[in-house]
Amino acid sequence: MTSTHEQSPKTAVVTGASTGIGEATARMLAHRGWTVYAVARRADRLEALAEGTGNIVAVPADITEDDDVARLLATATQGGGIDTLVNIAGGARGVDHIADAKTADWEWMYRVNVLGTMKVTRAFLPMLRAHGEGTILNLTSTAGLAGYEGGAGYNAAKFAERGMTQALRLEEVGNNIRVIEVLPGLVHTEEFSLNRLGDRSAAEKVYAGVEKPLTADDVAEVVVHSVALPHHVNLDEIVIRPVAQAANHKIIRSS
Ligand code: NAP
């Protein structure tokens, strides 16, 4: 899926770039000539991603920490600024029903998906307004469209991130900032379900029998396409699922 109207050269911050969808997005943008500030907490993985590319800058940072976000902004400013912010860092912890909800899991999910995304966005808004053709893409989830049993904490965080994204689009349209939301369904990444469930065999069951779940590259392709389109074209909200997943609760699995 390659745009015939790509603008160049462009510069993005991509959060969550140490693995999964964020890493695939950073790599794909860089491959297509963008300068990318790659953000996550694990410096070693970011360094490995940046090594030898010449257009990926590793910026180890925790997006929930104000000092780290300020340092990220300073690094991007010194480098000449950005026109595109891609908020991908996030995740899920636990599948407990509300009756057994673990407050720490809920707090973690709200802090990263909602407050972290808000903090990075708030920091870069003045730069994106000044640019005149800014873009912000928030990677939420189909978990932000409908609740499911065992999903409440993640649903609540992604509904919140989605609500924030909708408000942002309204608030910043007068500043010509394009706000895109990408909502993936089942994506088989290395760490997402492992971090959510705590062990490898439980994580693999999430994808068991699904012939072709989405991959990080599938989602990155959609993200990259949407931010590379001419700035007046806004894909706005994009739901992306594997064909085998007709809805959150309807997944075809071979037995
Ligand atoms: P993942 O493999 O678990 O990657 C999450 C990324 O977020 C990592 O790079 C992680 O890096 C980073 N991160 C977490 N906390 C952070 C923090 N406090 N500060 C900075 N970076 C932080 O997840 P994924 O599967 O690629 O998913 C990426 C996004 O898509 C998430 O928002 C997720 O909720 C959403 N999503 C995933 C799926 C799915 O099925 N996989 C479906 C729909 C939506 P460090 O650990 O190095 O900090």
CATH number at residue 199: 3.40.50.720
Name the percent of the chain lying above pLDDT 90: 95
Q: Please identify which residue in the block is written with the tokens 């699922």.
A: 241
Q: Categorize the per-residue pLDDT at 123 as very low, low, confident or very high, splitting at 50, 70 and 90.
A: very high
Residue 137: per-residue pLDDT? 98
Tell me which residue has its CA closest to atom 32 in ligand 1: 90
pLDDT at 2 over 50: no
Q: Please identify which residue in the block is written with the tokens 């609760």.
A: 249
CA 251 to chain centroid, in Å, comes to 23
Omega within 30 of 0 (cis) for the link into 60: no
DSSP lists the bridge partners of residue 189 as none
pLDDT tens per residue, range 228-251: 999 999 999 999 999 999 998 899
Residue 255: per-residue pLDDT? 74
* Cβ 38 under 6 angstroms from ligand 1: no
Q: Categorize the per-residue pLDDT at 16 as very low, low, confident or very high, splitting at 50, 70 and 90.
A: very high
Overall number of domains in the chain: 1
Choosing from 19, 47, 49, 119 the residue with most ligand 1 atoms within 8 A of its CB, the one to mutate for a pocket test is 19
User: Residue 163 C-alpha to ligand 1 middle, in angstroms?
Assistant: 19
pLDDT at 4 over 80: no
User: Residue 112 C-alpha to ligand 1 middle, in angstroms?
Assistant: 9
Which two tokens mark 103? Answer: 């407050």
Q: Please identify which residue in the block is written with the tokens 């992604």.
A: 158
* Cβ 213 under 6 angstroms from ligand 1: no
Name the percent of the chain lying above pLDDT 70: 97
* Cβ 187 under 6 angstroms from ligand 1: yes
Q: Categorize the per-residue pLDDT at 9 as very low, low, confident or very high, splitting at 50, 70 and 90.
A: confident
154 is catalytic: yes
Write down the pTM of the prediction.
0.97
C-beta separation of 113 from 106 below 8 A: no
User: Residue 4 C-alpha to ligand 1 middle, in angstroms?
Assistant: 30
Work out the average pLDDT over 62-80: 98
pLDDT at 45 over 70: yes
Helices (H), the chain: 20-31, 43-50, 66-78, 103-109, 117-131, 152-172, 192-197, 200-207, 216-228
Domain boundaries, position 45: 4-251
Nearest in space to 192 (alpha carbons), one of 98, 112, 97 = 112
pLDDT at 1 over 60: no
* Cβ 60 under 6 angstroms from ligand 1: no
Give the active site residue among 37, 148, 154, 207: 154
* Cβ 13 under 6 angstroms from ligand 1: no
Q: Please identify which residue in the block is written with the tokens 């899926």.
A: 1
pLDDT tens per residue, range 135-167: 999 999 999 999 999 999 999 999 999 999 999
Work out the average pLDDT over 62-67: 98
Residue 120: per-residue pLDDT? 99
* Cβ 141 under 6 angstroms from ligand 1: yes
